[in-house]
Amino acid sequence: MTKGSSGIAPPPIRGAGAIVALQGAAAVVFAVVFLVRTVRGGEESATVGYGTSGLFAVLGAGVLAAGVALLRSMRGGRGPALVIQALLLPVVWSLLTTSALVPLGLALGVVVLTTTGLLLCAPARRWAAAEYPAAATEPRDDER
């Protein structure tokens, strides 16, 4: 992951980085909760409990790393952050349509769409393209 040649990332990227870092931290907290629950015998199968905990820990650490990378103005965090938001969309849909957790689905949907918007807005795209000088300096067809 490379640091931006233009220095600090624009505010939308830093905002998205904070949200993504919080998403990763939440996954790590869930991993600890699952681990404690498994150790106390709350899971039907210890294998499932440890496996779920390990999965959430690894994925959460990766998401947290992407968020921290964005907060540190490292362009390499933008792609993984976008992938995570895309992977959360089916979760939002499921919460909105097939569960009794519609308010949670609405809240998560707002977070996911806001984060995606922050990662794809014009200042964020210009910042991401600055690593490629030809792409950042050539006018687009709609700007000519």
Burial of 69 (0-12, 13-18, 19+ CB in 10 A): buried
Q: With bands split at pLDDT 50, 70 and 90, how would you rate the model's confidence at 4?
A: very low
What is the number of domains present in the chain?
Answer: 1
Residues found in the chain: 144
Residue 91 in domain: yes
Contacts from 108-117 at CB under 8 Å and sequence distance 24+? Answer: 111/19, 111/23, 112/85, 112/88, 114/19, 115/16, 115/19, 115/20, 115/81, 115/85, 116/82, 116/85, 116/86
Residue 22 in domain: yes
Two tokens at 54? 């390990």
Residue 143 in domain: no
Angle at which helix 102-120 crosses helix 78-97, to 10 degrees, equals: 150
* 3-state SS assignment for residue 97: helix
Query: Is residue 100's pLDDT more than 70?
Result: yes
Residue 21: the pLDDT is 97
pTM: 0.84
Residue 110 in domain: yes
Q: With bands split at pLDDT 50, 70 and 90, how would you rate the model's confidence at 33?
A: very high
Backbone angles phi, psi at 74, to 5 degrees: -105, 120
Query: Is residue 73's pLDDT more than 90?
Result: yes
Residue 2 in domain: no
Instruction: Answer yes or no: are the C-beta atoms of 76 and 1 closer than 8 Å.
Output: yes
Residue 141 in domain: no
By residue range, what is the domain housing residue 58?
A: 11-131
Residue 71 in domain: yes
Q: With bands split at pLDDT 50, 70 and 90, how would you rate the model's confidence at 110?
A: very high
Query: Is residue 1's pLDDT more than 70?
Result: no
Residue 121 in domain: yes
